[in-house]
């Protein structure tokens, strides 16, 4: 019988234990910061009804959805879509969740969700079909203060500060500002606005010249003087060294809004919202060194309506956005008549982890096992097990070698597994009432009285947490 090749499907990520620990710690850091700001956890089923998930039929989304069918359902399958589909993001399930539980929730509803999603991405390096998303949203009932738009960057700052993956910038824009700018120049058609903003959003991926040439095409029919204003505006504030975000906003107001040939009211509204967000961000404790304005950010053109965010690593721009989101006016309009405005962000944790690993920005993870009790003599196994129980009772994750072997081999096992402390309890140690401890990280060895072992290891671990190497 031929063996089946052991392999995983393309677009999925499978990690070795120490890498999995590093990924889990990334998720734990994100979760800890979400909870620090008062967000509450929810989980939704990995499957949703197809008609609920695909409220907008057709388009790119439907082509990337994985449908779910049992073998019995396949045999009975008739015309139409399968009944169930895997979620492709966490936003549509959130909308369904809020609509379904609307009368049981407290508003503003502050939720976080860290779960896998599934998307039929074209197989290519760094793109995943199964991946973790880490989302937060604040949902209001009928209205939601712009102040929540300023809180979201504070969460972003807290998360990436604690992840310690290098300097980063939170980029902000407001969709009303951009739409008002186009309307003031006589471009009022919603579809034409969407097409222009779609090209503007590509500025980071294409050159300025390429975007300019595309917008100059007959398809857009933009007068040359208007095109020059568009390019001038979208390239403002795209570099951190150009000054403070508020100063950049003043320049936009004086140089572009006040010179609009048409009605400036929508652009003014966008500027004032963005100004309030920037001022409040200071109060929330976000340093000015970590945020700026970028007028080319558009984000989900049919979804976001006001403030939008993107976050990038300053020293690794090739990684692209590591966190994005924004403001929307009505989360669940497809499922309820209630008006539910909100604001939120999403971190694609799987892709972020993969990118950080590829860029060499992740520190080597240590095992979740903190101590290994070696076996010197099989007859003393009850003693080793008792010692391990003492350490576990003191909160130290401990493994015991259950099969006798050479001590060198046991040390090698600990080293490969990433276990920091190796405990040796031989005849001499038993006679003297001590244990020998080898610190695999520092490559040193010391003896301590057995009764003090747990206390000594806890101190060592606490010092490492307080002052990591």
Return the percent helix, strand and coil in the chain, to nearest 5: 45, 15, 40
The pLDDT, as a whole number, for residue 217 is 83
Global confidence as pTM: 0.90
Same domain as 216, residue 118:
yes
List own/partner pairs for 11-18 with CB under 8 A and 24 or more apart.
11/121, 11/123, 11/127, 11/128, 11/129, 11/130, 12/128, 12/129, 12/130, 13/128, 13/130, 13/131, 13/350, 13/353, 13/354, 17/367, 17/417, 18/364, 18/365, 18/366, 18/367, 18/418
The pLDDT, as a whole number, for residue 168 is 96
3-class DSSP state for residue 40? Answer: strand
Tell me the angle at which helices 175-184 and 190-200 cross, rounded to the nearest 10 degrees. 120
Q: How far is CA 194 from the centre of its chain?
A: 26
pLDDT higher than threshold 90 for residue 7 = yes
Q: How far apart are CA 117 and CA 108, in angstroms?
A: 25
244 assigned to some structural domain: yes
Same domain as 29, residue 66:
no
The pLDDT, as a whole number, for residue 238 is 58
3-state secondary structure 303-369: CCCCEEEEEEECCCHHHCCCEEEEEECCCCCCCCCCCCCEEEEEEEHHHHHHHHHHCCCCCCCCCCC
Contact of 441 with 465, CB cutoff 8 Å: no
Same domain as 401, residue 347:
no
Quickly state the pLDDT bin for 215 (edges 50, 70, 90): confident
Could you tell me whether strands 398-400 and 371-373 are parallel, antiparallel, or unpaired per DSSP bridges?
A: parallel
Q: Which of 462, 456, 464, 287 is nearest to 363 (CA)?
A: 464
What is the enclosing helix (H) or strand (E) of 399?
strand 398-400
**DSSP for 178-234, written as a single string:** HHHHHHHTT---HHHHHHHHHHHTTTTTS-HHHHHHHHTSTTT---HHHHHHHHHHH
Same domain as 52, residue 95:
no
Q: How far apart are CA 182 and CA 189, in angstroms?
A: 9
Q: How far apart are CA 122 and CA 434, in angstroms?
A: 60
pLDDT higher than threshold 60 for residue 216 = yes
Same domain as 285, residue 408:
no
- Cα dist from 412 to 252, 380, 387, whole Å: 63, 22, 21
Same domain as 73, residue 191:
no
Same domain as 128, residue 74:
no
What residue ranges in 214-298 does DSSP mark as E strands?
291-293
349 assigned to some structural domain: yes
CATH of the domain at 384: 3.40.50.800
273 assigned to some structural domain: yes
Same domain as 123, residue 68:
no
62 assigned to some structural domain: yes
The pLDDT, as a whole number, for residue 239 is 55
Same domain as 294, residue 403:
no
Per the omega criterion (within 30 degrees of 0), is the bond before 93 cis? no
Same domain as 175, residue 56:
no
pLDDT higher than threshold 80 for residue 67 = yes
Q: Which of 17-21, 36-40, 112-116, 211-215 has the lowest mean pLDDT?
A: 211-215
Contact of 274 with 153, CB cutoff 8 Å: no
Of 335, 358, 381, the one marking the end of a domain is 358
The pLDDT, as a whole number, for residue 393 is 97
pLDDT in tens, 438-453: 999 999 999 999 999 9
Q: Which of 18-22, 31-35, 239-243, 320-324 has the lowest mean pLDDT?
A: 239-243
Quickly state the pLDDT bin for 383 (edges 50, 70, 90): very high
Of 358, 383, 413, the one marking the end of a domain is 358
6 assigned to some structural domain: no
1 assigned to some structural domain: no
Give the burial class of 3: count Cβ atoms within 10 A of its Cβ; 0-12 exposed, 13-18 middle, 19 or more buried: exposed
Q: Which of 75-79, 190-194, 248-252 has the lowest mean pLDDT?
A: 75-79
pLDDT higher than threshold 70 for residue 223 = yes
Percent residues over pLDDT 70 in the chain: 94
pLDDT higher than threshold 90 for residue 363 = no
Average pLDDT over residues 16-25: 94
Percent residues over pLDDT 90 in the chain: 70
Q: How far apart are CA 133 and CA 118, in angstroms?
A: 10
Q: Which domain holds residue 65?
A: 47-86
The pLDDT, as a whole number, for residue 415 is 93
Q: Which of 340, 311, 308 is nearest to 327 (CA)?
A: 308
User: How many independent structural domains does the chain possess?
Assistant: 3
Same domain as 252, residue 106:
yes
Q: How far apart are CA 389 and CA 423, in angstroms?
A: 13
**DSSP for 84-116, written as a single string:** EEE-SSSHHHHHHHHHHSGGGS-SSEEEEEEEE
The pLDDT, as a whole number, for residue 56 is 58
Of 86, 109, 144, the one marking the end of a domain is 86
326 assigned to some structural domain: yes
Q: How far apart are CA 30 and CA 67, in angstroms?
A: 30
Between these two residues, 468 and 23, which has the higher pLDDT value?
23
pLDDT in tens, 156-206: 999 999 999 999 999 999 999 999 999 999 988 888 888 888 888 888 778
The pLDDT, as a whole number, for residue 57 is 47
Averaged pLDDT score across all residues of the chain: 90
CATH of the domain at 115: 3.30.930.10
What is the enclosing helix (H) or strand (E) of 447?
strand 444-449
Q: Angle at the Cα of 432 (from 428 to 433), degrees rounded to 5?
A: 115
Same domain as 162, residue 66:
no
Q: Which of 220, 195, 170 is nearest to 298 (CA)?
A: 195
The pLDDT, as a whole number, for residue 62 is 63
pLDDT higher than threshold 50 for residue 469 = no
380 assigned to some structural domain: yes
């Amino acid at each position: 019988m031929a063996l089946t090749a052991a392999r995983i499907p393309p677009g999925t990520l499978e990690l070795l234990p120490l890498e999995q620990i590093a990924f889990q710690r990334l998720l734990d850091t994100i979760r800890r910061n979400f909870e620090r700001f008062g967000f509450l956890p929810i989980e939704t089923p990995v499957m949703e009804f197809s008609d609920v998930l695909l409220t907008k039929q057709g388009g790119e989304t439907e082509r990337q959805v994985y449908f779910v069918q049992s073998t019995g359902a396949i045999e009975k399958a008739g015309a139409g879509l399968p009944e169930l589909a895997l979620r492709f993001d966490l936003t549509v399930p959130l909308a369904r969740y809020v609509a379904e539980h609307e009368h049981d929730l407290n508003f503003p509803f502050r939720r976080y969700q860290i779960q896998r999603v599934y998307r039929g991405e074209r197989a290519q390096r760094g793109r995943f079909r199964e991946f973790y998303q880490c989302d937060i949203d604040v949902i209001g009932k009928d209205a939601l203060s712009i102040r929540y738009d300023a809180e979201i960057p504070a969460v972003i700052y807290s998360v990436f500060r604690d992840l310690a993956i290098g300097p980063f910038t939170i980029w902000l824009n407001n969709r009303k500002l951009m739409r008002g700018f186009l309307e003031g120049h006589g471009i009022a058609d919603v579809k034409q606005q969407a097409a222009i903003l779609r090209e503007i959003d590509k500025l980071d991926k294409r050159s300025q010249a390429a975007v300019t040439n595309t917008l100059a095409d007959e398809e857009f029919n933009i007068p040359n003087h208007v095109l020059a204003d568009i390019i001038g505006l979208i390239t403002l504030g795209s570099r951190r060294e150009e000054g403070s975000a508020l100063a950049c906003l003043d320049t936009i107001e004086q140089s572009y809004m006040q010179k609009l040939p048409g009605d400036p009211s929508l652009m003014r509204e966008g500027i004032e919202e963005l100004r309030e967000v920037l001022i409040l961000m200071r109060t929330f404790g976000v340093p000015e060194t970590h945020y700026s304005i970028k007028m080319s950010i558009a984000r989900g053109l049919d979804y976001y309506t006001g403030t939008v965010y993107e976050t990038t690593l300053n020293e690794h721009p090739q990684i692209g956005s590591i966190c994005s989101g924004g403001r929307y006016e009505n989360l669940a309009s497809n499922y309820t008549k209630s008006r539910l405005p909100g604001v939120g962000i999403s971190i694609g944790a799987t892709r972020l982890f993969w990118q950080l690993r590829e860029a060499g920005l992740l520190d080597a993870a240590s095992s979740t096992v903190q101590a290994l009790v070696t076996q010197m003599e099989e007859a003393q196994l009850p003693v080793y097990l008792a010692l391990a129980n003492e350490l576990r009772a003191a909160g130290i994750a401990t493994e015991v070698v259950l099969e006798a072997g050479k001590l060198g081999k046991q040390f090698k096992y600990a080293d490969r597994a990433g276990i920091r402390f190796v405990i040796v309890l031989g005849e001499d140690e038993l006679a003297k009432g001590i244990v020998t401890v080898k610190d695999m990280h520092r490559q040193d060895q010391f003896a301590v009285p057995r009764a003090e072992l747990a206390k000594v290891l806890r101190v060592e671990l606490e010092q490492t947490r307080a002052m990591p190497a």
